[in-house]
Amino acid sequence: MTVEILQGYLILSGILFAIGAAGLLLRRSPLVMLMCVEIMLNAANLAFIAFARYWGDMTGQIFTFLVVTVAAAEVAIGLAIIVLLFRHRDAADVDDVNALRG
């Protein structure tokens, strides 16, 4: 893989990361925020795979497999927490979750 192609992948991954981070900071629904986290993790995955191909080394691809697995666990826990939150109140919005402040 040439440096030009690598740059293309990195730019794409940077854009994905920015979209995820912006979404996480701007959107207020916990479900959408969870999806934004996934976009960020996948941006990192794309960078890992592009670098693995560039260096001709499998380490980056192995890292990606592990990240995908961890992300699945993270989502499972995240959804459970969101369900728990909805049980306490009909909060569809993280702005409603504000009992703790000061």
Partner 1 sequence: MQYVLILPEILLAGLGLVLLGMDLFAKSKRSLAVAGVIGTLATLVAVLANFGVAPAEIWSGTIRVDDFAQYFKVIFLVILGLVFLFSHEYLEKRDVRMGEFYILVTFATLGAFLMVSSLELITIYLGLELMTIASYILAGMLRQDARSSEASIKFFLMGALTSGVILYGLSLLLGLSGSTHLVAIAEALATSPNTALITAAGVFIIAGLGFKIAAVPFHMWAPDTYEGAPTPVSAFLITASEAAGFAVLLRILLVGLAPALAQWKMVLAVIAFVTMTFGNVTAIVQTRTKRMLAYSAIAQAGYILVGVAVATPQSVTAMLFYMLAYAFMTVGAFAVVIMLSNHIPSEEIEDFKGLAQRAPGYALAMTLLLLSLIGIPPTGGFFGKLALYRSAVEGGMVWLALAMVINSAISVPYYFNVIRNMYLAEEAPAMELSARTGLKLALGIAVAATLLLGVFPEPLVGFLRTIQVMP
User: Which chain residues interact with partner 1 by CB under 8 A?
Assistant: 10, 13, 17, 20-21, 24, 30, 33-34, 37, 40-41, 43-44, 47-48, 50-52, 54-55, 57, 59-60, 62-63, 66-67, 70, 73-74, 77-78, 80-82, 84-85, 87-89, 94, 97-102
Nearer to partner 1, 12 or 82 (CB): 82
- How would you write 43-81 as a 3-class SS string? HHHHHHHHHHHHHCCCHHHHHHHHHHHHHHHHHHHHHHH
